Amino acid sequence: MSHFIEIRDLKIEATTDSGRRVEIIKGVSLDVAEGEIVALIGESGSGKTTIALTLMGHTRAGCRITGGSVSVGGKDMVTLSEKQRAKVRGTKVAYVPQSAAAAFNPATTIMDQVIEVTRIHRLMSPDDARARAVELFRALSLPEPETIGSRYPHQVSGGQLQRLAAAMALIGDPTLVIFDEPTTALDVTTQIEVLRAFKSVMKKGGIAGIYVSHDLAVVAQIADRIVVLKGGEAQETGTTNEILNNAKHPYTRELLAAFEPKSRGAAELAANVTAPLLKIEDLVAGYGQRQADGLPLVRAVEHVSLKVEKGRNLGIIGESGCGKSTLARTIAGILPAAIGKIVFDGTELRRSARERSRDQLREMQIVFQYADTALNPAKSVEDILARPLVFYHRMDRQARTARIDQLLDMVRLPRSLRHRRPGELSGGQKQRVNFARALAADPKLILCDEITSALDTVVAAAVIDLLKELQRELGLSYIFISHDLSVVEAICDEIVVMYGGRKVEEITPSTVKAPTHPYSQLLFSSVPTLDPAWLDGLQQDPELVRAYCRQ
């Protein structure tokens, strides 16, 4: 195999807000053969996407290539003029973004956007382009390939939109496609179908690929080789089997170890079985106007009952739109329930948080999925943590200062970060601040809504370890909402599976490998493993997939 892509000693600098120049890619070299798929993996900030974008001759604002070469099919993308690069983009090199929803124009039909590349580069007639698009829709296993192009982006599901983004990239018959974390935002059941479609089309067309991801299990299914990156440097390169089964570099071994967080010990599971801390009975919640029967127009949670015992944890899993986050918001009183009872620590709570006492609010805290939007960007960490200390505990300045130091210590953050704003922190640091703010209230129960979903594998594993340690020290209980089954298994004593707003099954760690409900079986069987042959060997009941998978 000849090397279709050759990156040699690539160096990239970024300019900070203060004008200082920082080298973010430090002499990276890699090769990709024709028809080969190479994965770039590593934590956020490791340089994965930055390197991938140079294959189109592009760098982000504030960045510039300061050294090395990036050869694609014999052309150095670094030295080409912008006009020459424009001819390569979409025809030789194409890009599939992480968020297809952000990549599509909501005001234009899907077909017009998919065939746009052919019009810009004058590759074929409009009729031929539409026929080619339909072929790609069919190859990518999209429903109703003849007519789906007439829809608008909001009229298809997330998984369908991600495959349509791939069709847009493939219509110009590129020899290289860059996939930038294309399945990160998808449910596991949808992710399987998208991965299958990507792999099939790439292999049949003999198309080379760069697959950017931090999910080793996904990478194992699609990549021929893996490049492990950290801090802008390549730590290790090898075939997928070599990296997964015989990793040499300590950081690679750390990534592999973090793939499956350690489960709670049997002693931990058996301890502290006492009266329920939280009991929910027949809860119904949703959105829109109340109907004649007193129920909301759209019911996102339907007749759900569950309980959480003191010192124990409940996991809630299910696909996007199943009602997980709405249930958490309803328990917290952010979205008042239409009917049902919420009993917390022996007292029935009012449905709206506005009607609950200050102590009731203090004892039940919620940590939201995206720390970026949950933390005020204009406030320092100190101000963010001080607010609950004043609101719940009426602490004076001296007491607040001491308590903020304690909180930063508890979540393993340096005290020196207290004067920084959220924008000056990493994703993992922001989520720890988010969690420290909840701890500032001295709660009994913390609702964790997908708090590790935006984090890299290693950072997420560290956050899970932190939650376990704080639980042992403070006697906390957690409701842990996630679509990452390995995370839920690692921290939860019981798991509730939701589908279509309803609780369909409750599972304990001892029965987690043998769920009884058909949707639970589909969900658990769709979780990728580190076995590269897993996807090709996966067999699922087509009737189950059709019934439960919103592709």
241 with 273, same domain: the answer is no
Asked, for residue 203, whether it belongs to a domain, the answer is yes
- Whether the per-residue pLDDT at 551 is higher than 60: the answer is no
b/e 300-317 (16+ beta carbons within 10 angstroms → b)? bbbebebbbbbbbbbbbb
DSSP β-ladder status, 502-507 and 494-499: antiparallel
Query: Residue 186 in contact with residue 179, Cβ under 8 Å?
Result: no
* 8/156 same-domain check: yes
Tokens of 523: 């969900």
The answer as to whether 527 is a domain residue is: no
Confidence (pLDDT) at 266: 46
Tell me: do 195 and 239 sit in the same domain: yes
Residue 537: the pLDDT is 86
Asked whether the predicted pLDDT for residue 546 surpasses 80, the reply is no
- What distance in Å separates the CA atoms of residue 22 and residue 94, rounded to the nearest whole number? 28
- Tell me, yes or no, whether 71 lies in a domain: yes
**Residue 374 in domain:** yes
DSSP letter for each residue of 431-492: HHHHHHHHHTT--SEEEEESTTTTS-HHHHHHHHHHHHHHHHHH--EEEEE-S-HHHHHHH-
My answer on whether 307 and 283 are in the same domain is yes
The conformation of residue 517, written as its DSSP 8-state character, comes to S
SS3 content of the chain, % helix, strand, coil (to 5): 40, 25, 35
Q: Which residue from 243, 182, 239, 259 is spatially nearest to 456, judged by alpha carbons?
A: 259
Q: Note whether 342 and 234 are same-domain residues.
A: no
Contacts of 456 by beta carbon, 8 Å cutoff, 6+ apart: 42, 43, 44, 214, 427, 428
8 Å CB contact between 535 and 221: yes
Residues 21, 66 within the same domain: yes
Rounded distance between C-alpha atoms, residue 210 and residue 72, angstroms: 12
For 49-111, the DSSP string reads HHHHHHTTT---TTEEEEEEEEEETTEETTTS-HHHHHHHBTTTEEEE-S-HHHHS-TTS-HH
CATH of the domain at 304: 3.40.50.300
Distance between CA 157 and CA 25 in Å, rounded?
A: 36
The verdict on 248 and 301 lying in the same domain is no
- Band (pLDDT 50/70/90 cuts) for residue 181 is confident
Q: State which of 238, 258, 278 marks the end of a domain.
A: 258
445 and 367 in contact (C-beta within 8 Å)? no
Is 456 or 75 the better-scoring residue by pLDDT?
75
- DSSP characters over 376-396: -TTS-HHHHHHHHHHHHH---
Q: Answer yes or no: do 336 and 439 share one domain.
A: yes
User: What's the CA gap between 413 and 522, in Å, rounded?
Assistant: 39
Whether residue 140 lies inside any domain: the answer is yes
Six token digits for residue 74: 């014999």
Asked if 283 and 216 sit in the same domain, the reply is: no
Domain annotation covers residue 84: yes
CB-CB neighbours of 454 under 10 Å:
19
The number of beta carbons lying within 10 Å of the beta carbon of residue 468 is: 18
Q: How far is CA 3 from CA 26, 34, 75, in A?
A: 22, 6, 12
Place of tokens 């075939």: 239
- Provide the token pair at 306: 């569950």
Domain that holds residue 315: 266-514
Residue positions counted in the chain: 551
pLDDT in tens, 116-141: 999 999 999 999 999 999 999 998 88
Q: Is 311 found in the same domain as 237?
A: no
Residues 385 and 486 placed together within one structural domain of the fold: yes
Angle at 22 between CA 18 and CA 26, to 5 degrees: 170
Q: Rounded to two decimals, what is the model's pTM?
A: 0.80
271 residue type, one letter: A
Residue 549 has pLDDT above 70, yes or no: no
Q: According to the model, what pLDDT value does residue 264 have? A: 58
Tally the domains of the chain.
2
Say yes or no: 155 and 178 in one domain.
yes
Q: Is residue 351 part of a domain?
A: yes
What digits encode the pLDDT tens for the residues 245-289?
999 999 999 888 887 666 655 445 445 556 799 999 999 999 888
What average pLDDT does range 376-391 have in this prediction? 95
Q: Which residue has the higher pLDDT, 339 or 461?
A: 339
| Cα–Cα dist 141/145, whole Å | 8
CB–CB of 318/302 below 8 Å? Answer: no
Q: Is residue 530 part of a domain?
A: no
Give yes or no for residue 415 having a pLDDT over 50.
Answer: yes
List the one residue out of 376, 394, 301 whose CA is nearest residue 342: 301
